[in-house]
Structures are given as structure tokens and as C-alpha cells.
């Protein structure tokens, strides 16, 4: 695992730079009874053991149920994980964000989050949210803050606010079949050293959802490389783009075999020919499009 690709979170005034694995673990739909709880807990622990040490959750998922599953998985190994959670936009006020974070911490059975994200832009002023994030940081309850589902204009507005430029990441929908962010959002963030967390990296959602895993070219390229189509999609999402390694994919997987395949995708380096073949079928955007969301 030592040679696995890593993505660097920049140092802040209060935290040193932090290198994270380029593939983490999502948790949407955990804690909803879709799979036995012990299977969900075991899958997250299995992922940790295989180097998928970033865990992404949210107060929204399963109405707190996903955070409870994560809390159980991390009960005796909190230090092994880089833990990310998200606040609903309507809970992102000066005081409500503090209460929401404290409730997340209780469900997660921890005293701090490594990263706390605003789940999507809402109607509460970002000034207020930033103030709450700063109070949470001062209290040691969060180490860094970031956002999710922000397009370029929203990122620019955020970074113009006092403290806003310290935004650590933006988490957005990104997969081979939905490349809109490559036109302007990704370059904007890259210029400022703000990594992207790619959600739905296996194309399980989004308005541009396609059956990527069953696409003949995806299957053909994967077969020639001796990997699965899902590993191809993950390796593609995290492959260095314009020389930068700044995308972290966060697939959700409950089946242990899936977890292992996803971890093994960290070792897959796509060659130029494979990337070109995928580009030919799934071209990069030539113009700005609306941010794809779930
Ligand atoms: N910020 C946001 O607004 C936002 C929105 C959506 C998602 N997210 C985050 O991003 C995470 C990932 O997105 P997602 O859960 O929607 O979709 P996803 O990760 O693209 O897909 C999840 C699905 O893929 C399957 N899968 C995982 N690994 C596989 C493999 N190796 N082979 C075959 N199938 C595999 C899973 O099956 P099993 O579970 O059966 O293994 C599950 O059905 C979420 O869990 C959440 O943490 C954030």
C-alpha cells in the first residue's frame, strides 16, 4: 500500500498537509436495512484494512443511520480513518451547524471529524456557515471544512469570503460518463490546490447516468488490462489529469469482494492508449455544462 497514489490536502494555518488515498469509501444507503448491519460494519473495516482509509458519510444518509454504522465500524479504530461527514444546508447556520455537528459526532462515537462538508449550497448565508465551521475548528470538533455540489461561481463566491479560501475540498459527481467538471470547475480548483472528491464514481446515479459498466468499450479496455470494468472506472477517475493527482474517488461497497476490487484499483495505472480509447467514446466536455448532481 505504500506506493498507492495519494492526494494531498494542503496545509492550513492550523493543520499540516495531509496525504490521503486516492480511493476512499462512500456510505450512502448504509444504515437503512438494505443489508445486514454487521455486513456493512465489516465492509468498512475490510476497506480500512485494505488501505481505503477515507470514509465519507453525512447526517442525511439513512437519517443518521449511516453515521451510526460508521461509528460502530470505527469504535476501536478511529485513528485508522480520515473521517468526513456533511451538514444539511438548512442546518448550516451559525448555531444550527454546531448542533448538527455535535449530533453527527455522537452517532459517529468520536470527538472530531477530519473534514466537515456543507452538503450542497443552500439559502443560509455562507458567512454564517464559515463562522460556525471556524467555531467548530477552534473547539477541536473538526480539523478542516469543505463543500459539496458547488460549481465554479459558488466556489469563487466562497473563496472571496473571509476564511473561505481555506476550503479543503469540493465533493461533486464525477465519472467517465459525466465529465462536465473537467471544463472549468476542475481547472479552477486545480489552480488553487483544492482537491476534488468524486462521488458516484461507478456511475450509479446522476442525470448522465449510463450503463457504463456494461459498455462494450469499457468492457473491452478492462479485459485487455486484466481488470474489472469497475476497477477501470475507478482508475480512470483518479488518474493524473494534466499532471495533477487531485481526485479522490469514494465508491460505496458492501460486498467484501467489491471492497477488495476497489482497493486493488489503487494499483492500476492507465496507459495513454487506454485513456485515449475511453476519450474517444466518452469525450471531455468542449463547453461549460450545468453541474451534474444526484
Ligand atoms: N455529496 C453528495 O451529494 C453525494 C451524492 C451521492 C453520493 N455521495 C457519496 O459518494 C458515495 C458513492 O456514490 P454512490 O454510493 O451513489 O455510488 P457508487 O459508489 O458509484 O456505486 C455504489 C454501487 O456500486 C456497487 N459497487 C461498488 N464496488 C463495486 C465493484 N467493485 N464491482 C461492482 N459493483 C460495485 C455497490 O454495490 P455493493 O454495495 O453491493 O457492494 C453499490 O451498489 C456515496 O456512498 C456517498 O458517500 C455524495
Domains of the chain, start order: 19-210+239-269 (3.20.20.100)
pLDDT band at 4 (very low <50, low <70, confident <90, very high): confident
What does the block give as the cell for 40? 456493512
* Ligand 1 mutation target, pool 204, 208, 212, 218, most atoms within 8 A of CB: 204
Average model confidence (pLDDT) across the chain = 95
The residues near 80 (Cβ < 8 Å, ≥ 6 apart) are 48, 53, 74
Summarize pLDDT for 170-226 with one digit per residue, the tens. 999 999 999 999 999 999 999 999 999 999 999 875 455 568 999 999 999 999 999
Is residue 170 in contact with ligand 1, taking CB distance under 6 Å? no
Q: How far is the CA of 205 from the centre of ligand 1 (A)?
A: 9
Is residue 254 in contact with ligand 1, taking CB distance under 6 Å? yes
Q: How far is the CA of 29 from the centre of ligand 1 (A)?
A: 9
Q: Which atom of ligand 1 is nearest to the CA of 251?
A: 19
Q: How far is the CA of 253 from the centre of ligand 1 (A)?
A: 6
* Ligand 1 mutation target, pool 30, 60, 66, 253, most atoms within 8 A of CB: 253
Q: What is the mean pLDDT of residues 45-71?
A: 98
Query: Among this protein's residues, is 199 annotated catalytic?
Result: no
What does the block give as the cell for 28? 450512502
Q: How far apart are CA 167 and CA 126, in angstroms?
A: 12
Is residue 39 in contact with ligand 1, taking CB distance under 6 Å? no
Decide: 121 and 89 in contact? Cβ < 8 Å.
yes
Q: How far is the CA of 20 from the centre of ligand 1 (A)?
A: 19
Say whether pLDDT at 2 is over 50.
no
Is residue 204 in contact with ligand 1, taking CB distance under 6 Å? yes
* Ligand 1 mutation target, pool 28, 212, 291, most atoms within 8 A of CB: 28
Q: Which atom of ligand 1 is nearest to the CA of 252?
A: 19
Summarize pLDDT for 189-204 with one digit per residue, the tens. 999 999 999 999 998 7
Q: What is the mean pLDDT of residues 39-49?
A: 98
Amino acid at each position: 500500500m505504500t506506493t498507492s497514489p495519494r492526494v494531498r490536502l494542503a496545509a492550513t494555518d492550523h493543520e499540516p498537509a495531509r496525504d490521503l488515498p486516492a480511493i476512499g469509501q462512500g456510505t450512502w444507503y448504509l444504515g437503512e436495512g438494505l443489508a445486514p448491519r454487521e455486513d456493512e460494519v465489516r465492509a468498512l473495516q475490510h476497506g480500512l484494512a485494505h488501505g481505503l482509509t477515507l470514509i465519507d458519510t453525512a447526517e442525511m444518509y439513512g437519517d443518521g443511520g449511516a453515521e451510526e454504522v460508521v461509528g460502530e465500524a470505527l469504535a476501536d479504530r478511529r485513528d485508522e480513518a480520515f473521517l468526513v461527514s456533511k451538514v444539511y444546508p438548512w442546518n448550516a447556520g451559525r448555531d444550527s451547524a454546531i448542533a448538527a455537528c455535535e449530533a453527527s459526532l455522537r452517532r459517529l462515537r468520536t470527538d472530531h471529524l477530519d473534514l466537515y462538508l456543507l452538503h450542497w449550497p443552500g439559502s443560509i448565508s455562507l458567512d454564517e456557515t464559515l463562522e460556525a465551521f471556524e467555531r467548530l475548528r477552534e473547539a477541536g470538533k473538526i480539523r478542516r471544512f469543505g463543500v459539496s455540489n458547488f460549481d465554479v461561481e459558488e466556489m469563487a463566491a466562497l473563496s472571496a469570503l473571509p476564511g473561505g479560501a481555506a476550503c479543503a475540498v469540493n465533493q461533486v459527481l464525477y465519472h467517465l460518463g459525466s465529465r462536465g467538471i473537467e471544463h472549468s470547475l476542475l481547472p479552477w480548483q486545480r489552480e488553487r490546490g483544492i482537491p476534488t472528491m468524486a462521488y458516484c464514481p461507478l456511475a450509479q446515479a446522476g442525470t448522465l447516468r449510463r450503463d457504463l459498466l456494461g459498455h462494450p468499450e469499457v468492457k473491452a479496455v478492462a479485459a485487455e488490462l486484466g481488470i474489472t470494468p469497475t476497477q477501470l472506472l475507478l482508475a480512470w477517475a483518479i488518474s493524473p489529469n494534466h499532471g495533477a493527482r487531485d481526485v479522490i474517488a469514494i465508491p460505496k461497497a458492501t460486498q467484501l469482494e467489491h471492497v477488495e476490487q476497489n482497493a486493488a484499483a489503487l494499483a492500476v495505472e492507465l496507459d495513454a492508449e487506454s485513456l485515449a480509447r475511453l476519450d474517444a467514446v466518452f469525450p471531455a466536455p468542449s463547453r461549460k455544462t450545468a453541474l451534474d448532481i444526484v
